[in-house]
Structures are given as C-alpha cells and as structure tokens.
Amino acid sequence: MTSKNMQQLGDLDEVDHELVRLLIGNARMTNADLASAAGIAQSTCITRVRSLVSRGVIAGFSANVEPAALGLATQVLISVTLRAGARAHLSDFMTAMQNQPEVVQVFFLGGSEDFMVHLAVKDSDQVREFVLENLSSNATVASTRTNMVFEHFHKGPLV
C-alpha cells in the first residue's frame, strides 16, 4: 500500500466509519438497507462503499464458515521459528503456508517466534501430517510449538 493510500485511510469521516461498522455486522446488507441504516442517500452510499474498497479500507467481502460444519473439527495454532540464517526466506515461508489448504491464517510476528500458523483439520492425524510434511522437513524451520484450540470466538475485524 502506498503512503498516499495510507494517508487516505486516516481520512475516514463518521459516515465512513458507520458504513464499515454496519458492513462488518452484515456484509450481505443491500445498498438500500445500508444507506438507510447510515442515514444517507443510496447513491452516496454506493459511491462511499466503492471508495472504501478502492482505498483498501475494505479488503473484501467474505463468509465466516464454521470449520466443524465442514468436518474440520480440530483447530491448532502452530508457532514457528525459522533458523537464524533463513531470515531471507520469510516471504517464501509465508507463501508456502498460504498455499496449504489446511491453513486458515498465517501471522508474521515480532517476538520470539516468527510465524503463527492457524490450521483447521479433520483430526490430530492431519495435524501430525501437516507438521511432518510442511514444517519438520523444511530446512528453514528451527522449531515449532503446537497448541490445540478448544474454543474460539470470532468477532471480526476491528474498527
């Protein structure tokens, strides 16, 4: 994102913030309903939403799916530390993780670990397979630590 776009992100007014808040609550809201809830004209609403998208404030619209409903009842968070000499491969590692179907999210961290990889899988056997095939066999990975997710709460993006 360019510095010009970053400046535009800070230029949000109360109406923009309200539109974002409403869309976080229901991204499938019609333009008519969104305009009514925000107290603006429909033409103004669609123009502002398009502007929020083009400026990168709204990165996309998606459905939140419950992994267990898809047979993915096991979720884990894997902390990954890369070898000191492998720092040049941070981007490659991130891309490799993003391309794995089991990966829900990947976070690049500042701190003692380099990445947090969030998996949604069928069972612990799939976790073991993922770790062996994608992490333990990866020459850039120094260590991993796996934590089971027993329960989660998804609020959505912060506003």
For position 87, what pLDDT does the model report? 79
Count of C-beta atoms within a 10 Å radius of residue 133: 11
Q: 35: which 2 tokens?
A: 């305009």
Q: Whole-model pTM?
A: 0.73
- CA-wise closest residue to 8 among 43, 44, 58, 73: 58
Whether the Cβ atoms of residue 78 and residue 116 lie closer than 8 Å to each other: yes
Antiparallel, parallel or unpaired: β 74-82 and 103-108: unpaired
CA neighbor of 148 nearest in space, from 136, 126, 138, 156: 126
Phi, psi at 144, each rounded to 5°: -135, 160
Instruction: Give the closest residue to 143 by CA, choosing from 119, 121, 112, 120.
Output: 112
Task: Give the N- to C-terminal CA distance of the chain in Å, as an integer.
Answer: 19
Mean pLDDT by 10 residues, the chain (159 residues): 47 94 92 97 97 94 85 96 88 94 94 95 96 95 95 68
- What is the distance between the alpha carbons of residues 16 and 106, in angstroms, rounded to a whole number? 28
Could you tell me the CA-to-CA distances from 42 to 13, 31, 117 in Å, in that order? 17, 6, 41
What is the Cα–Cα distance from 105 to 7, expressed in whole angstroms?
A: 27
3-state secondary structure (DSSP) of residue 138: coil
